[in-house]
Structure 1
Amino acid sequence: MSDLIRSLATSASGMQAQSGRLRHVSENIANADTPGYRRKTVEFRDVMGGAQVALGPVRLDRSALERIYDPGHPLADETGHHDGTNVDLVLELADAREAQRSYEANLRMFDQARQMTQGLFELLRR
């Protein structure tokens, strides 16, 4: 029985981690046109000896910001340039798709463990 409970906890932690990842990807996409915005990245870390997963600290992508020439922009410097963002929408959409599919895989695993637990309880009631 404890293995079923452990598998429920493992899949639940995976779903929680992927939803947090998807939240950061969504923030990146929402701020893709915000001047000076740096892409946020997260890493996963093991919890309980690798039995569960959680999000690590949020880090800012330190790659160079795009320089945009727009002399009329309020943030433009004396050369007419201002800092754009380092968000790549294609990369963000790929990350979002990966997070979505990983979430769905964890959800299927959770549902299978739940069904097995229900079956076990039904057997024990007989």
Structure 2
Amino acid sequence: MSDFSNALSVTASGLKAQATRLQHVSENIANADTPGYRRKTVSFETVAGQAGDPSVETGPVKLDRRELPDIFDPAHPLADGNGYYKGSNVDLLVEIADAREAQRSYDANLKMFEQVRQMSSGLMDLLRR
């Protein structure tokens, strides 16, 4: 039974990591028009679990260091003397692609979780006979 619990813990860590990734993607999309906002990225790290089984955790949140675009709008309250202000470096196309990738990974982990649960339930039914 420990193999089942190990598999469940690995898939659960994958679900949690992808949920965190989706959270940061949604924050980026929500702040795409916020002046001076830098895109947040998160990386994944493999760590040894309690029983030595691998699990996935999110690394530290990093800010995208790409240059912020200059936007010309003299009427904007943040505009300098030349009429420019710093926009955000969020690319909505990249964020949508990241969201789709994270969602598919989340779904794959969820299916794996369900498969392990069904196998465990089937084993318990066999042991009861």
TM-score (normalizing by structure 2) = 0.95
Q: Percent identity?
A: 64
- Offset, 1:3: 1.1
Distance 1:51 1:101 in 2: 21
Q: Note the 1:74-93 alignment, pairs <5 A.
A: 74-93=77-96
Question: Following the alignment from structure 2 to structure 1, what is the Cα–Cα distance between the partners of residues 11 and 77?
Answer: 48
Query: Superposition pairs for residues 3-42 of structure 1, below 5 Å?
Result: 3-42=3-42
Unaligned runs of 5+ in 2: none
The offset of 1:55, in angstroms, is: 0.6
- The one-letter code sitting in structure 2 at the alignment partner of 1:79 is N
Deviations 1:11-61, CA, capped at 9 Å, x for gaps: 110010000000000000000000000000000011216711011110110
Q: For 1:87-126, what per-residue CA distance to the aligned partner results, in whole angstroms no more than 9, with x for missing partners?
A: 0000000000000000000000000000000011111111
Distance in 1 (alpha carbons) for counterparts of 2:95 and 2:19: 14
Report the CA distance between 1:4 and its aligned residue: 1.1
Q: Is contact 2:6–2:53 with CA below 8 Å preserved after alignment?
A: no
Q: TM-score, normalised by structure 1?
A: 0.97
What residue number does 2:121 align with? 118
Q: In structure 2, the residue corresponding to 1:114 is in which secondary structure?
A: helix
Unaligned runs of 5+ in 1: none
